[in-house]
Chains A and B, each alone.
Chain A
Amino acid sequence: GQNIDQPTEMTATEGAIVQINCTYQTSGFNGLFWYQQHAGEAPTFLSYNVLDGLEEKGRFSSFLSRSKGYSYLLLKELQMKDSASYLCAVLDSNYQLIWGAGTKLIIKP
C-alpha cells in the first residue's frame, strides 16, 4: 500500500530551528508538496520538490531525497505564528496525490 509518515506532534522554542520529517512509500514519485495549516484555517502551499536537494525560501527550506523516500521541512528563527500543522503530500507514478496526516508544531516562548 501507499504510506506517508510524519511525526504527529513536535515542540520547539521561539527563535530556534526545527526539522519536520516526512518519509514515504508510494508507487513511484512525481513530486512532493508541503502545506501549512493554522488551526481552523485553510492549508496554504509552502513548497514543491521534484528533484533531490535543498530549496530555500526565506526562513523555510525543503529537502528531498528520492532514493531514500524522504523529505524534510526546515524552519529557522521560529516565530510564534509558525505554530501550525504541516502537511506532506506525495504525487505518485499515476499523478495521484497521497497526503500525510500532518505534524502539529507547537512553538513555546
Chain B
Amino acid sequence: DVKVTQSSRYLVKRTGEKVFLECVQDMDHENMFWYRQDPGLGLRLIYFSYDVKMKEKGDIPEGYSVSREKKERFSLILESASTNQTSMYLCASSKPGQSHFNQPQHFGDGTRLSIL
C-alpha cells in the first residue's frame, strides 16, 4: 500500500527556533508538496518539488525553506519559528503528469505544529 509518512504527528516549539518537518514517500513519486491547513481556509501550498534538488515556491513561501536531497524525502524548514506558523502541515506526493498538479496527490497524516 502506498504511503507518505510524516515524522511527527504533534510538535511544540518555541518562537525563534529552527524547526524541521520531515516527509518520506515510498511510491517513487517525482512530485512532492508541502501545504498548511488552517480552519476555514483551503489548503495553501508552501513549496513543491518536481525532482531531486529542484524546488518551486508555492503561494505562501515566506518564512519557510525546503530541501530535497533524495527522491523519497522532502523536508520543510521553518527558519525562525513564529506564532503565526502554528498550523497543521501536510505533505503530499504524486506522479508526474501534464502539469505538476493534475495527478491525484497522496497525503501524509499531517504534523500539528504549535509555536509558543
List residues of A whose CB falls within 8 A of some B CB: 4, 8, 30-31, 33, 40-45, 48, 87, 89, 91, 95-102
Contact = CB atoms under 8 A, between A and B. Distances in A.
Given A42-B109, A91-B101, 4 more contacts: A33-B104, A40-B109, A45-B104, A99-B43
Chain B interface size band reads 20 to 34
From DSSP, what is the main secondary structure of chain B's interface residues? Answer: loop
B105 to A, nearest CB: 7
B90 A43 contact: yes
B106 interface: yes
A42 B93 CA distance: 12
A99 B42 contact: yes
Contacts of B40: 8, 101
A43 B107 contact: yes
A43 B90 CA distance: 9
A40 B10 CA distance: 11
B104 A48 contact: yes
Given A41-B109, A42-B109, A101 B101 contact: no
B32 interface: no
A48 B95 CA distance: 15
B110 A42 contact: yes
B99 A91 contact: yes
Contact of B102 (A4, A95, A102): A95
Contacts of B115: none
A96 B101 contact: yes
Nearest to B35: A99
Contacts of A95: 98-102
B41 interface: yes
